[in-house]
Structure 1
Amino acid sequence: MSLDSPKVLYVTCAENGLHGLGQLTKAGIDVAAVVTIPPALGTKYAVSGYVDVSPWCLAHGLNCIRLREYKIEVSDVEAVDFDLLIVNGWNRLIPSEVFSLARLGALGIHAGHPPLGLGRAPLVWSIIHGQSDIEVFVFRLTANADDGDIMATQVVEITEHDDVKTLYEKVMDVGADLFLAAIRKLSAGEAGFSQDRRFLSHFPKRTEADGLIDFAMTDRQICDFVRAQVPPYPGAFTYLGSEKWKVLRVQRYDRFLFRDHPRVPGRILRVLPSGVIVQTGAAPVWIRHATVDGTDIDPMSRPEIVGRRFGVDLD
């Protein structure tokens, strides 16, 4: 970066933001201050992938502004001398009064297929919907969510081996490079390209309750549903009577075996040393890893569950 590169006010409270912050400082970007929230607020608002960035800032001599609430006001940052606001890992809209303080405005990052898929949990929704790729893009912030002019973009593949954690890391890694590219463009006076607002669509917010598995879905859909919600997200789950099973790993079992059995979604067909075989609306799935109250389930210690059904049994 040139000596006249902008002074950055950086906003984050998540793992991807800390990674990006490290990459920007390595590249020589002048970070005037970092805005974040303390662990108590990360817990209060159940921030996925929350990281306390304060120790890192202290170790690297950066001014760290810890907010008293999960929102930024002008009074929190007006004393900071900055040219550009960067938001990376922050699930709240930034008031226009805040980013209007910056000479070059503000940059954010999102992933989807702009202008489709703006809004909440884009990685989760993209895997649930069976997408094979996702577009990571850095854009100029507006008063709305994720709809500003795009400054830099990169398509990332979603392979059959990816879950939301590995996809999160891919996007995290690409994002740091995209912010650097966008800063170069801004410093050179280049403009981005606008999103076609006629076709804007937004993903809705997800809550922990949205992780309930519907075994009437196909085996492929259930595998996508589970891998889309592994930690740091709340996770997919089901109930066996009053027992809540958090499902962390599942795979398609076999499209030939059990094809002559009555297709009763949720019925447990077999218990094997590596997991539980469950009927879906199509072929069975193999639950390879599940927990109850945080403890791993040993399937061979539960042979009595064969013939029961997830989601409908009553104790």
Structure 2
Amino acid sequence: MKVVFMGTPDFSVPTLQELIDSEHEVVAVVTKPDKPKGRGNKVLFTPVKEVAISNDIQVFQPQKLSEEDFVEAMENIKPDVIVVIAFGKILNKRILNLPKYGCINVHASLLPKYRGAGPIQWSLINGETETGITTMYMASGIDTGDMLLKEAVKIEDDDTGGSLHDKLSQVGAKLLIKTLKEVQNNTITREKQDSEESTYAPMLEKSMGNINWEYDAKKIELLIRGLNPWPSAYTYLGNKILKIWKATVIEDNYKGKSGEIVDISKSGFVVKCKDSSLLINEVQLQGKKRMTADAFLRGYKLECGELLGRR
């Protein structure tokens, strides 16, 4: 099939590469406009654009998908299918109705659960035991189209937003190729979503990472894992931000206030939560490198009774 690929971040790259390596022909890539990043405001290509250029594939970066020049270019290409994954823009009806086989989205959840921009992280934050990939036909709503194929992925006890992102990006690439084969052979089965069973996974914000020590220890541990590597969970040690990268829930009989450091050992330091406590295993103090709690304690003197968080 003649494919137009729409995507932007790292998550999209394995699917694009799988398409390039397949029997299908990727005739164009559509990605978000380049943006300046870093202290020097250097303009960087999106990860998808990097792959497209290295494979001599035409790239389009419209500010709006309704731009007439862009729509006409797509009409001239006459793609058999448009594949969309983590693109970050809503397709208008002219684009949706353009391809022979429609527009197919690769979504990082088992729909109808976790529609929206942050399905990977929210599945962890909410304590799900599994997630997965759903391929679906695109409709005018956000992740509301008919479902095609699904593949479940178990969420391990040590999974983070980063590790789950990497697993799902690989699963999505393989499932998309399988989906295209069944679509082309007319053996695919469409399944409508039950909106009453849907949940929404909104975009992540940095403020989400501010740990509330009044929460249960398990809820905080899930937040830490879900927001690793971005935007990261954090608290305050004095007037400095202390990022918490890894923690372990421990059952205990510690007494103290929520957010209080109640024990310090070679393996880390223990913070009292609403119920139980958290053994902090890996941290990063503002202006410093990420390190194990053991290494941190060798260079920073903590004392039992200190309170973490804004006071």
TM-score, with length taken from structure 1: 0.86
CA distance in 2, matches of 1:161, 1:12: 28
Query: 8 Å contact 2:7–2:86 — kept in the other structure?
Result: yes
Identify the residue that residue 179 of structure 1 maps to in structure 2: 176
Q: Is the contact between residue 274 and residue 299 of structure 1 (CA under 8 Å) also seen in structure 2?
A: no
1:177–1:224 CA distance, 2 compared to 1 (3 A): same
Q: Does 1:79 align with 2:73?
A: yes
Q: By how many angstroms is 1:178 displaced?
A: 1.3
Equivalent position of 2:275 in the other structure:
282
**What are the within-5 Å matches in structure 2 for residues 289-308 of structure 1?**
289-296=282-289, 298-308=296-306
The answer for the alignment partner of 1:265 in structure 2 is 258
C-alpha separation in 1, matches of 2:171 and 2:72 = 31
* Secondary structure of 2:246 counterpart: strand
Q: Quick check: 1:242 aligned with 2:239? A: yes
Find the aligned partners of 2:14 and 2:37 in 1 and give their Cα distance: 18
CA-to-aligned-CA distance 1:89-135 (integer Å, 9 cap, x gap): 22232222222222221011223342232113111111111110013
Q: C-alpha separation between the residues in 2 aligned to 1:90 and 1:294?
A: 33
Contact kept in structure 2, 1:20 and 1:175, CA below 8 Å: yes
CA-atom RMSD, angstroms? Answer: 2.2
Question: Structure 1's 41 and 101: CA in aligned 2 closer, same or farther, altered over 3 A?
Answer: farther
Decide which of 228, 231, 235 is 1:230's aligned counterpart: 228
Superposed, 1:205-216 pairs within 5 Å as: 205-216=203-214
Contact 1:267/1:310 (<8 A) preserved:
yes
Decide whether aligned partners of structure 1 residues 92 and 193 sit closer, same or farther in structure 2, where only a CA change above 3 A counts.
same
> Distance between the aligned counterparts of 1:194 and 1:42, measured in 2?
40
Provide the residue aligned with 1:14 in structure 2.
9
| Secondary structure of residue in 2 paired with 1:201 | coil
User: Over residues 42-68 of structure 1, what are the superposed CA-to-partner deviations in whole Å (9 max), with x where a residue is unaligned?
Assistant: 88xxxxxx943333222212112233x
Pairing 1:102–2:99 present: yes
- SS of residue in 1 equivalent to 2:108: strand
Aligned twin of 2:198: 200
- Note the residue ranges of structure 1 that are not aligned, 5 or more in a row: 1-5, 44-49
Aligned to 2:117: 120
User: Which letter maps to 2:19?
Assistant: L
Given that 1:127 and 1:228 are in contact with CA atoms closer than 8 Å, whether structure 2 keeps it comes out as yes
**Closer, same or farther: CA 304–41 of 1 in aligned 2, 3 Å:** closer
Alignment partner of 2:173: what SS? helix
Q: Gaps spanning 5+ residues in structure 2: where? A: 39-44
**Following the alignment from structure 1 to structure 2, what is the Cα–Cα distance between the partners of residues 294 and 11?**
37
TM-score, normalised with respect to structure 2? 0.87
1:148 aligns with 145
- 2:237 & 2:286 partners in 1: Cα distance? 13
2:52–2:58 contact (8 Å) kept in structure 1:
yes
Number of residues of Structure 1 aligned to a counterpart in Structure 2: 295
**Corresponding residue SS for 2:4:** strand
CA distance in 2, matches of 1:113, 1:35: 25
CA offset digits 1:156-214 (Å, max 9, x no partner):
10011211111111111110111112211221234421112343332233311111111
Q: 1:255 aligns with which of 235, 251, 256?
A: 251
Q: What are the within-5 Å matches in structure 2 for residues 28-177 of structure 1?
A: 28-40=23-35, 51-67=46-62, 69=63, 71-74=64-67, 75-80=69-74, 81=77, 82-177=79-174
Q: In structure 1, what is the equivalent of residue 41 of structure 2?
A: none
Distance 1:294 1:88 in 2: 35
